[in-house]
Structure formats: C-alpha cells, structure tokens
Amino acid sequence: MQIEVKNIKENPVNMLRRLGYSFQRNEGEEKSFVRPLAAAGYPRFHMYVRMTGADMTINIHLDQKKETYGDETRHHGEYENEGALAEEVRRLKMILE
C-alpha cells in the first residue's frame, strides 16, 4: 500500500513517532519504521518512507511474523488493502492528509 503526503512542514521522523512508529534504519534513500501490534514484536506494521523535497511517500505492509531464512528468503508480509492493514492506512491518511 502506498500513501502520498504532500508538503509536510515538520520532521518526518518526529511526525511518525507521534503516530506510534519507531525509526528502524536507513535503507538507501528510504527510512524504515515499524509499529508492533504485540509485545513480541510481531505482527507489526512496517513502512518505508522516501522524501522528495517536502513530499513524503510511504510504502506500508503488515509483517505477520519474522522473515525466515534457509535455502531461500521468505517474507511473511501482507500488502493487500483489507483487514488490519486497510484500517491502519485509513488511520494514517486521516491524520496525515
């Protein structure tokens, strides 16, 4: 899911912290943020944020559990516009837009 926020006037890290997200790390030109839904850390909302001037693009998904490794990497994320992810996107849009 993608959310576009135009012409933000404050620090994006501080803005997302107030919405319950913790900065995780820089991933190239993007910043990674998470918001756990349980004390164990999963499931969690996970977003990548890219700034272009004063505009912010958020790519968000729901990680159901920690990724697994072995012969291949498996990511257990949900990207569809339904359930908890759809509700979170509605909440973010209502506050950010």
Q: Which of 94, 88, 92, 96 is nearest to 43 (CA)?
A: 88
Quick: pLDDT tens for 13-69.
Answer: 999 999 999 999 999 999 999 999 998 889 999 999 999 999 999 999 998 877 655
Name the amino acid, one letter, at 19: L
For position 60, what pLDDT does the model report? 94
Banded model confidence at residue 83, pLDDT cuts 50, 70, 90: confident
* Per-residue pLDDT at 68: 56
Overall size of the chain counted in residues: 97
Q: Where are the extended beta strands (E) located within 1-97?
A: 2-5, 22-27, 30-36, 44-52, 55-68, 74-78
Nearest to 30 by CA among 7, 17, 14, 47: 47
In the predicted model, is pLDDT for residue 89 greater than 80?
A: yes
Is pLDDT at 1 greater than 90 in this prediction? no
